[in-house]
Each structure stands twice: as structure tokens, then as C-alpha cells.
Amino acid sequence: MTQPAPTMELVQDPEDRDTYYMNMGPQHPSTHGVLRLRLHLDGERILDVDPVIGYGHRAHEKMAENRDYLQFLPNTSRIDYLSGMIYNLGYCQAIEKAMQIEVPERAEYIRIICGEMNRISSHLLWFGTYLLDLGGITAFLYAFDDREKILDILDSVTGSRLTYNYGRFGGVSMDVDDTFLRSVADFSEYFRKRIEEYHKLVTHNVIFRHRTRGVGVMGADLALDYAVTGPCLRAAGIASDVRKDEPYGIYDRFDFDVVTAEGGDCFARHMVRMGEMEQSLGIIEQAVRDIPEGPVLAPKVPKRIRPPEGEHYFAVEAARGHFGMYIRSDGTDVPVRQKLRTPSFVHVSTMPAVLPGTMLADTVAILGSIDIVIPEIDR
């Protein structure tokens, strides 16, 4: 049974002369990767949207079925290259939980510091590029300047800038020294002042407010319909965060707030991310203050990583939301199935519910505000 292949040509119904279809992407600067939106337009108003994904599919789930657990570890930070540390450490924690491996205290603290630093760098990149999407270049330069400082700090201990492979089953690969901790503390002090500056530069900017307020409302109902998570959900006023709901690692020892905002529009999502950066700084400061001495790798990690037979699920709060790993083990070195539940996948799938009725020019503002990372959607 065959049918003609769909073409890239725009489909136009000859009977209907008032509406038309338009491709946004696959190559479009505001999609931050290769994403195609088929927009059905009436003038400049969007009637319907059909996101086409898969251009960056790299078969991570298939790869996981063909290599053992340790060999999959470098893949994890490449799923979402902007918060790769959280993915990398999250995968380690998933295997540790399944294997019941105890992680030394110091390693837990290092994971917290590195994970939260990575979260700030991811939010910073979002902040910069979002303003770029909206036409403001200044903030982009500020944000990338600060982000570079974080990348340098993480580079000094992990050896990589984006695609970290720092986690190990039972700890982390390298101990941090006092220079690292001092530079983290210095950065934290410096960055608190910068956030104030960002608020002055962007949050209080009239153009920015007009561009984002009341635009792209993702209400609390989307949480039930689509399981939207992360900053997108918290911007709708629901205080849900994996770090609080089911604390992994040692997150239950830290004092931080789940930042929420009202309205669920682009501006609310901006406010949530700005607030989260401050909360992350608070977590980092507590971790730097309390970090104990000791080993960073568990002394007795089984040579063969063979999680008990059956299903395992582990979730972490990535920069974009709930990242879950569903692992089906048959007791051997290789998983039978490893499903990766990524937040951006869900968020892009809500676009047919969010975009209709908005203006074409707001598409860029809305798409940017949900902070999508294409490789994470396509996996």
C-alpha cells in the first residue's frame, strides 16, 4: 500500500482563497535548531499548527539497547546539551538507585554544585537568546559573558564545556579543589548583583513587557492535558518541582523555594527562570559552605552494572522540566528498553493547543519562551 510522499511545497486549497499554509523552519533562527512548524494562517492569525520534528533524531534509545550501562553514560549529556550535567548526573543517580550504590557525601555536594551551576548557565542561554529572538541584542551579550564564566568554572573540573561526562556510578570522576569552590563562591556573589542588573535591563523594559505579557498563555489545564513540567508549569502557578516532590540526591537538605508566577504567559516564564537562577545560587552557597572532606567515588562499585530485573523509573528536574528515565532491565549488562522522557518533547507537543488564535509575530516569542532544545525533543 503506497501513497505519494508528502512534499515540502506549501499545500493550498484552491477553494479557500483566504487562508494559507506557511512553513516556519526547518531552518529558522528562532527555532534554535531544526524544527519545522506548518502554520495554517488567516492573514497573520494562526488557525492551526502542525509541528514536524525528528530532524535531529540520533537514536539514543536504540543505542542504549546495544551497549552496556556505562557505555551509554557519555550519551546522556548529549541529549540536552545545554543542561548536560543534570542529565549526566541524573543517569548516574538512576543506575545507583537501581543498584543500591551508596554515594559519598562529598560527591553528592559536588553534584549539587555542578548541577545548579549548569542550570544557571542553561537559563542564561535561554535569557540571552530569547531577547535575541525578540530583537534585543544587548542582553544576549551580557548573558553570554556570564555564561562563559560558568563554563570556565565547570571546564576546570570536568574538562569539557558543554557535553560533560563528569558523573560516575557511585560518585564523580574528579575531586574539586579549593580554587574551584572559591571561584564558585565568587561567581555566586558576582552573579547576584548581575541578576538585579538583568531585571533593570530587561524585566522593567517597557517594550519587553508589551511583547511578552498576556502572550502565549499556557494555563494550569495544560498540566493535566499534556503533563507540562518545569518553568512552563510553575509559570502557571503550580508549585511542582521534582527536587521538592521527590527529592533525589541530597536536595532535601537544602533550603530553597519553588519559584512560581501567575498568568502562564511569556512574561511569567521569564520571571520564573530569573527567580530560579537566584534559588540555584542559594543552593550553591549552602553547598559550598557545608561541603565535607572525603572520597568522591564509592569504594565498592560492582564491576558489572546489572540492575535487578524489571522496570525502574527515575526523574530529575532538568533546566526545562521533568526528565525521566524508564529502564527495563532483564538482569544483564544491557537494558531491554530505555525510554527517555524529555520535557521539551512535551512542550512542543502542546503547540497545537497554545498557538492557534495568536499572531504570527508572536510565534517566535512563544516558541522562544518555552525554551526548547531540539536534540532533546528528537533524542
* Cβ count near 280 (within 10 Å): 24
Question: Applying CB under 8 A, does 333 fall inside the site for other proteins?
Answer: yes
Q: Least distance (Å) from other proteins to the CB of residue 336?
A: 6
CB of 11 to other proteins, least distance (A): 14
Closest CA to 376 of 87, 16, 12, 107: 87
Give the footprint of other proteins on residues 273-302 (CB under 8 A). Answer: none
Does 312 sit near other proteins (CB under 8 A)? Answer: yes
Q: Please, which residues bridge with residue 28 across strands?
A: 33
| Count of positions (residues) in the chain | 379
The H or E element that residue 70 is part of is helix 69-79
Determine which residue in the list 244, 250, 282, 360 makes contact with other proteins, applying CB under 8 A: 244
Binding flags for other proteins, 99-138, as an x/- string (CB under 8 A): -x--------------------------------------
User: Per the structure block, which three cell numbers stand in for 297?
Assistant: 567515588
Check: CB of residue 230 under 8 Å from CB of residue 318.
yes
Which residues partner with 341 through β-bridges? Answer: 324
Compute the least distance from the CB of residue 189 to other proteins, in Å.
Answer: 32
Is 224 a binding residue for other proteins by CB under 8 A? The answer is yes
Handedness of CA 176, 180, 184, 185 (dihedral sign): positive
Q: How far is the CB of 241 from other proteins (least distance, A)?
A: 9
**Contact between residue 270 and residue 139 where contact means Cβ atoms under 8 Å apart:** no
Task: Kindly tell me which residue out of 345, 356, 359, 360 binds other proteins, with binding defined by CB under 8 A.
Answer: 345
CB nearer to other proteins: pick between 353 and 360: 353
Nearest distance from C-beta of residue 315 to other proteins, angstroms = 7
Rounded CA separation 80/353 (Å): 24
Q: In the complex, what is the shortest distance from the CB of residue 201 to other proteins, in angstroms, rounded to a whole number? A: 33
DSSP-assigned letter for residue 373: -
Strands (DSSP E) found in 163-304: 167-168, 171-172
User: Interface with other proteins by CB under 8 A: which range of 19-27, 130-138, 249-257, 326-334?
Assistant: 326-334
Distance CA 213, CA 197 (A): 21
Site size for other proteins (CB under 8 A): 57
Counting contacts by CB under 8 A, is residue 40 touching other proteins? no
Scan residues 54-93 and list those touching other proteins (CB under 8 A).
54, 57, 59, 61-62, 65-68
CA angle (369, 325, 373) in 5-degree steps: 25
The residue from 26, 115, 167, 324 that contacts other proteins (CB under 8 A) is 324
Q: Which residue in this structure is represented by grid cell 562499585?
A: 301
Q: Which stretch binds other proteins (CB under 8 A): 31-39, 52-60, 82-90, 368-376?
A: 52-60
Residue 11 interacting with other proteins (CB under 8 A)? no
C-alpha–C-alpha distance, residues 284 and 153, integer Å: 13
Phi, psi at 357, each rounded to 5°: 100, -15
Which residues, in sequence order, are CB contacts of 335 under 8 Å at separation 6+? 64, 65, 69, 307, 327, 328, 329
Contacting residues toward other proteins, per CB under 8 A = 1-6, 53-54, 57, 59, 61-62, 65-68, 94, 97-98, 100, 223-227, 238-240, 244-246, 308, 310-315, 322, 324, 326, 328, 330, 332-334, 336-337, 339, 341, 345-346, 349-350, 353, 378-379
